[in-house]
Amino acid sequence: MPKHIKDPVHGYIEVPADLVPLVDTTIVQRLHHIRQLGFAYLVYPGANHSRFEHSLGAMHLASLLCGRLGLGESETKTICAAALLHDIGHGPYSHASERLMQEYEHFSHDDISIHLADPAIDAQLKKISVSPDEVAALVAGGHPHSGIIHGDLDVDRMDYLLRDAHYTGAPYGNFDTGRLIQSLEIVSGKLVLNQSGISAAESLLIARTLMGPTVYYHHACRIAEEMFLLAGRSHFGSDATGVEQFMHLDDVTAAAVLLNSPSATTRDLIDRIRTRRLYKRSVYAGRELVDIDHLPQTKESVNRMHQAIVETASVRDEDVILDIPPLRKEIRMDVLVRRHHDLVPFNEIVPMLEMMNATRHGQWRLGVYAPAELRDRVGEAAREVLSLRHATKQHKLTGII
């Protein structure tokens, strides 16, 4: 029998009978205990939703879209299984631990092959005649129908924008999912947007752009994530195997590991996050104040700059966090739009992409963070070492988001 689950975003979600045993596996149930938005709960107290409910939401939207596209029962079952399982590769605190793992070896949460090899998952997929290799390809982007799960207008993005907006209270993530799904079709094996769905697609683009600085890159979320990374480096040192094992934990068990670390630095940082005694912004500079071309590009050069700030400020290494994020990738919409009898690239019809990308570039910030009592001292040292330009009134105005 199928199960019906009440969801605050989509209403009732039906889990097909074939997929119910997948939902009940340990690997999927683990997602109950991984926050969808990592440390965003420190800013938005309602942001305690989990990867589990997002996975159900993505599966629900995948089912609706498969029905709209007229896909067969076997294809629909495989795609819905992929949507349900697409996040099982996430480690504790979602993207925060992914960044930690990437410092030790190549890692992507979209590569779920190792998790699909779990005996319980593998047995259940084969029992319902779903290929684990096909599921992995759908999630990683190497399948003819990957656009449903891993594309520019995918069900993953549709669900997380709506869900994150709902739980944070931020109004910027809302758009017409129903209209968007009803406007998608398959032409020559590719997912194509009907002209009637352009406004819904534009709304999704705007949501992606505005949710960035408001939620995903909010400075307090960024600071907590950087503190978590510093705690992880201090705890694991060069132990890549330990980090790999850590990635299989959930938020609660991961916090317990770090709170009981032999490293005093790790224990202090995790306790600060738990009690919201976060580091403060000593420097928080946009592109107009930073010489982007002369920023350090390698881990070694970043470490040297960090050390220079530490020495100039006469503080401990762990009292300074230098955060130089990569420039945000430009939004690209490799989607064709059906306009009358023609298929036209989305970019030719919707010129707002250039504006959206300019806005995303303007959202970039270089940060130097320190404990509250050291904020001013570290800030002076950082401005000297980084040779930051002085902000003009115009710069201050353009830096507001």
pTM over 0.75: yes
pLDDT at 391: 63
Structural domains of the chain, with CATH: 3-209 (1.10.3210.10), 279-327+364-401 (3.30.70)
pLDDT at 167: 97
Alpha-carbon distance of 312 to 117, in angstroms, equals 51
Alpha-carbon distance of 383 to 105, in angstroms, equals 32
The closest alpha carbon to 360, from 219, 220, 207, 212, belongs to: 212
Other beta carbons within 10 Å of 294 = 9
pLDDT at 392: 54
pLDDT at 396: 46
Block residue for tokens 């699909």: 116
Q: DSSP letters along 31-55, please?
A: GGGSBTTTTGGGT-TT---BHHHHH
**Helices within 172-250 (DSSP H only):** 177-182, 198-211, 219-236, 240-246
Q: What is the mean pLDDT of each run of 10 residues along the chain (401 residues)?
A: 95 96 97 97 97 98 97 97 97 94 90 95 96 96 93 95 96 93 92 94 92 94 98 96 96 97 98 98 92 84 95 97 88 87 88 85 93 97 89 46 34
With beta carbons less than 8 A apart as the criterion, state whether 55 and 84 touch.
yes
Other beta carbons within 10 Å of 395 = 14
Alpha-carbon distance of 302 to 127, in angstroms, equals 50
pLDDT at 353: 83
